[in-house]
Amino acid sequence: MNLEHYIGGAHVPSVTGATFTALEPATNKPYLTVSAGGPEDIAAAVAAARTAFTEGPWPKMTGEQRAAVLRRIAAAIESRDDEIAARECRDTGLPITQARGQAHRAAHNFRFFADVITTLGEEVYRVASAQLNYVLRKPVGVAGLITPWNTPFMLETWKLAPALAAGCPVVLKPAEWSPASAGLLPEIMEEAGLPTGVFNLVHGIGEDAGAALVAHPDVPVISFTGETTTGQIIMRNAADNLKALSMELGGKSPLLVFADADLDRALDAAVFGVFSLNGERCTASSRVLVQEEVYDEFVERLAARASRVKVGAPSDPATELGALIHPEHYERVMEYVRIGTEEGARLVAGGERPAHLPEGNFLGATVFADVTPKMRIFQEEIFGPVVSVTPFSTEAEALELANATRYGLAAYLWTNDLRRTHRLAQSIEAGMMWVNSQNVRDLRTPFGGVKASGLGREGGHHSIDVYTEAHIVHLATEDLPIPRFGAA
């Protein structure tokens, strides 16, 4: 299979003819040839999107008109659920059952933002009978969307839906390690009747295509999800053109378990929170902090559950943990397993390739106990099926441990003490927090992190804010006094 760019309504190869090869994570064998975009391809895509913005109908449509197209996109996604899931499964190594769930969420993203744009109000401020001040939301222009390799299709739609709802034409740059499912987007957009040039897709390496998109002067807004170091580079490169940025970056999210918690449910959440999606998720609860009174019991039960997590072929419906995305990433995760052992953490589950999977990027669900804050496996994002467990004695110590990394994306708290819940909710340094719950998303709420986990928020009207500018009109409804300089 070959994937080309999609620019101005046409499938086209790279200007230079360059390509790259995608690997199947379960075997590490090449299976897909992809056009490798560069500055010339990005320039062509931005030009097509810019024309769609200045001359096309999309930005001038009513919210209801755009919403109708978004609902047709959702329907087109749903009609391809199985194909999207199959591509994602093969391309990323995600278990097929979890890939199907991500395909369903992708359709929901478009339906949700169709509803948002038809119900979103604009601000009006009246000054008695003398003045009326109102705020218009105007699409900002061409939106540059740079998406990660984990759950790619769902995360692409999480950016595409609000950008299109707001009236912005887009240039999407998918991750080079998982480009396959994005290849379905052109036919989906065409089937839904999206005007030509509103959606553009350029494949390529981040340092080439991604960097060119960030640097292009006709792209006023960049939405990026990915690793923190890349986010820092994007921020520096966007400074010359003062671009608006929305960035969801890395995470090292804590899951705090107090002795009074429902330990059965907390255990379920801990296992699911770090081993679902192969552990390759920014909001993974990769640091489990457990109160001393129940620490030994919890570690023993967590290790036992991890040892029973089914690692297998991504296409097998019984698989719970599939193949990591790429051999480079696999080696990175395995290096952290070696680091954890060398630093003195106690390996109580996993840590090696399952014997029945001799090829591909497979790792058993891995648990380290007795992890201290100075250890790298406590501090650094591993982005794989590896969890560290650390004991604490008091609420104050739990808070100190929760905040002891540079990240601040998500946090999870398990306790039945209501007062403690409110105290910690105000003190834990995280953009989002779940109490006595796994990561259940409400798309109306702001999504994003603090510290090294990003800047800006997306979700509900917060996403529309990313892709629009506020235009304020002050209208005098009476003759307001004007100082008459020079009239004497």
User: Hey, which residues are catalytic here?
Assistant: 248
Q: Who contacts 418 (Cβ-Cβ below 8 Å, separation ≥6)?
A: none
Structure tokens given for 413: 């708290």
For Cα atoms 194, 196, 201, give the angle at the middle one, nearest 5 degrees: 90
How many CA atoms does the CB half-sphere of 334 hold within 13 Å?
14
Structure tokens given for 122: 């604009």
DSSP β-bridge partners for residue 136: 471
Which of 156, 153, 179 is closest to 30 using CA atoms? 179
Q: CA 89 → CA 4, 261, 295, distances in Å? A: 21, 36, 36
Parallel, antiparallel, or unpaired for β 124-127 and 131-139?
antiparallel
User: 81-113: b or e for each residue (b if 16 or more CB lie within 10 Å)?
Assistant: eeebbbbbbbbbbbbbebbbbbbebbbbbbbbb
Which of 449, 409, 417 is closest to 435 using CA atoms? 417
Which of 127, 200, 212 is closest to 170 using CA atoms? 200
Backbone φ, ψ for residue 126 (5° rounding): -105, 130
How far apart are the C-alpha atoms of 441 and 32, rounded to whole Å? 33
Which of 146, 139, 150 is closest to 160 using CA atoms? 146
